[in-house]
């Protein structure tokens, strides 16, 4: 895990400098979130589905996405999985169950809930994890998705990133109302640096934290 964390930091440094030199058009680093990336995905199986935002390359790195594949995507060449049709760092990999990143805020949340419901309907022993910032919790997509997640009791985990440096209520205060209103089936949550994980009862009992 530590090796992947250091690798992620070094990769970020190289690609960020390449962006500043004009070699690639866009790049966002994962500085300060290396441990969250690696630790959260280490708790999952490779057949669990990931719906990320653009600061989770460590999830792909842990699952076996190579540095060369990261480079292909950032430079948008013919070897890129998306054939250069996406912006840099908008990674995606069917092999690693990592859905392609979108720049739009929180649009991956209803997609993730739908995928989790599909897994439940098919009686698959897998879950879905979503990564998004606390700003995404202000969107209509978030509230609609959480309503469906609560009613359908889908196998879903959320990694919610808190921008602690911005003046606003504490993260625990922000999400208490959401938990009470939309996620009655949630029984477990923990704070890990700047990310709160909210995980459904079914997933805790069956798979994720007890193996």
Q: Which residue has the tokens 């540095």?
A: 67
Nearest to 175 by CA among 202, 206, 143, 144: 143
The answer to whether 36 and 14 are in contact (CB under 8 A) is no
User: What is the pTM (predicted TM-score) of this model?
Assistant: 0.80
Nearest-angstrom CA–CA distance, 96 and 72: 16
Nearest-angstrom CA–CA distance, 137 and 159: 12
- The domain limits of the chain are 2-206
The answer to whether 108 and 132 are in contact (CB under 8 A) is yes
Task: Give the model's pLDDT for residue 177.
Answer: 58
pLDDT tens per residue across all 211 residues of the chain: 999 999 999 999 999 999 999 999 999 999 988 998 999 999 999 999 999 998 999 999 999 999 999 999 999 999 999 999 999 999 999 999 999 999 999 999 999 999 999 999 999 999 999 999 888 888 999 999 999 999 999 999 988 877 655 455 555 565 565 555 554 443 333 333 344 444 443 443 333 333 2
The structural architecture, per CATH, of the domain 2-206 is 3-Layer(aba) Sandwich (3.40)
């Amino acid at each position: 895990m530590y090796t992947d964390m250091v690798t992620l930091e070094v990769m970020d440094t190289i690609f960020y400098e390449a962006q500043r030199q004009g070699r690639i058009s866009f790049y966002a680093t994962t500085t300060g979130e290396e441990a969250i990336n690696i630790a959260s995905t280490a708790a999952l199986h490779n057949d669990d589905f990931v719906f990320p935002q653009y600061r989770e390359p460590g999830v792909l790195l842990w699952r076996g996405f190579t540095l060369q594949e990261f480079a292909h995507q950032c430079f948008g060449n013919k070897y890129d999985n998306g054939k250069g049709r996406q912006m840099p760092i908008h990674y995606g990999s069917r092999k690693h169950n990592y859905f392609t990143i979108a720049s739009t805020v929180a649009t991956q949340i209803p997609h993730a809930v739908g995928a989790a419901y599909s897994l439940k309907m098919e009686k698959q022993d897998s879950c879905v994890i979503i990564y998004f910032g606390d700003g995404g919790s202000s969107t209509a997509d978030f509230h609609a998705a959480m309503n469906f997640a609560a009613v359908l009791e889908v196998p879903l985990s959320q990694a919610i990133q808190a921008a602690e440096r911005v003046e606003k209520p504490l993260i625990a205060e922000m999400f208490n109302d959401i938990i009470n209103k939309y996620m009655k089936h949630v029984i477990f949550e923990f704070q890990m640096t700047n990310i709160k994980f909210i995980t459904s009862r079914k997933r805790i009992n069956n798979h994720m934290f007890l193996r």
